[in-house]
Amino acid sequence: MIEVRWHGRGGQGAVTSVELLAVAAISAGKYAQGFPSFGPERRGAPVAAFSRIDDKKIKVRSGIYQPDVVVVLDSSLVGMVNVTEGLKPNGILIVNTPKSPEEMKKELNFSGTTATVDATGIARKEMGVPIANTTMIGALLKMIGIMDLDAMKESVEHRFGRIAQKNLTAMKRAYEEIKISN
C-alpha cells in the first residue's frame, strides 16, 4: 500500500487531487482512498489531504502518520508546516518549486529521495492559472509509477470537461520535467 500526504492551502485543490487520483486508480482496477484532513475548510489556510492506493482492499480508516510520499503543492508552506513529519526515511518528497531537488533537500534537512518540478510555472503556461494541483498528479505518478498517466484521462475529463486537455498536458509536462535527487 502506498500512502500519500498532500500539503496545500485551502483553495489550491489538494482535495480535488486526492479525489481525482482515487477515482482514476479505482477505474484502473485498484483500491484507493482519497480524503481531506477533516474539519472546516478555510481559503488560504494550510491544509492536508491524503491518498491510499493498493492492489487489495484497503481496510484502515485512520489518518496517515507515516506517509510513503509527501506532495507539497505550495512551496511557501515549506518552513511553515513541517512537511516531512513522519515521512518514512526511504520515502519520497515531491515539491512544487523551481528550485533543484538538492536545494530542497538541504533546506528541509531531508536525506531521502526528493523531486522538484515548477508545477506553478507549467500550470500558468498551459492553463493560464497558477493552480498546480492536477499538474502535481503528473509528478506523483512519475515518482510512484503505480499506473500510467493515461489512467488519469477519464477522471480529469469527467471533472474538468472542456479544460481537461490543458490539465492533462500540464500533468504530462510535470511527469517529464520533474527533477529527481536520490
Partner 1 sequence: MAKRAGMEVAMAVAEAVGQCNIDMAAVYPITPQSHIAEHLSELIADGKVDAEFVTVESEHSAMSAVIGASGTGARVYTATSSQGLMLMHELLPIASAMRLPIVMGIANRAVSGPLNILNDHSDIMPQRDSGWISIFVENGQEAIDLSIQAFKIAEHKDVLLPVCINIDGFQLTHMVEPVEFPEQELVDKFLPPREPYATLHPGKPVTMGAFAMSDYYPEMMKAKNEAIKNSKKTILAVWEEWAKIFGRAYKPVETYKAEGAEILLLTMGSMGETAEVAIDELRAQGKSVGLVKLRLWRPFPFEELKEAVKEAKKLIVIDRAVSFGGPGGPVFSEIKSALYHEEARPMICNYIIGLGGRDVAVTDFTGMITRVLREDSKKIADTCEFWGVRER
Q: Is 4 near partner 1 (CB under 8 A)?
A: no
Beta strands in the chain (DSSP E): 2-9, 31-36, 46-54, 69-72, 92-96, 113-117, 179-181
- Dist CA 41 CA 57 (whole Å): 29
How many residues bind partner 1 (CB under 8 A)? The answer is 25
In three-state secondary structure terms, 42 is coil
SS3 of 182, please? coil
**Min. distance of Cβ 180 from partner 1 in angstroms?**
28
Binder among 4, 14, 18, 156 for partner 1 (CB under 8 A): 18
Alpha-carbon span 119 to 130, nearest angstrom = 8
Question: Of 31, 84, 121, 179, which one interacts with partner 1 (CB under 8 A)?
Answer: 31
**Grid coordinates belonging to 33:** 482512498
According to CB under 8 A, which one of 56, 59, 109, 145 is a site residue for partner 1? 59
Find the part of the chain contacting partner 1 (CB under 8 A) among 18-26, 100-108, 118-126, 171-179. 18-26
CB 74 within 8 A of CB 24: no
Span from 21-29, 70-78, 116-124, 128-136 in contact with partner 1 (CB under 8 A): 21-29
Q: Which of residues 106-135 bind partner 1 (CB under 8 A)?
A: none
Helix/strand/coil percent split, the chain, to 5: 40, 25, 35
Of the residues 36, 46, 112, 121, which one makes contact with partner 1 according to CB under 8 A = 36
Cα–Cα distance measured from residue 78 to residue 172, given in angstroms and rounded to the nearest whole number: 25
* Choices 27-35, 111-119, 122-130, 168-176 (CB under 8 A): range interacting with partner 1: 27-35
If the CB atoms of residues 38 and 90 are measured against partner 1, the closer one turns out to be 38
User: Shortest approach of partner 1 to residue 143 CB, angstroms?
Assistant: 21
Beta bridge partners of 8: 47
Q: What residue ranges bind partner 1 (CB under 8 A)?
A: 18-19, 22-27, 31-36, 38-40, 58-63, 65, 155
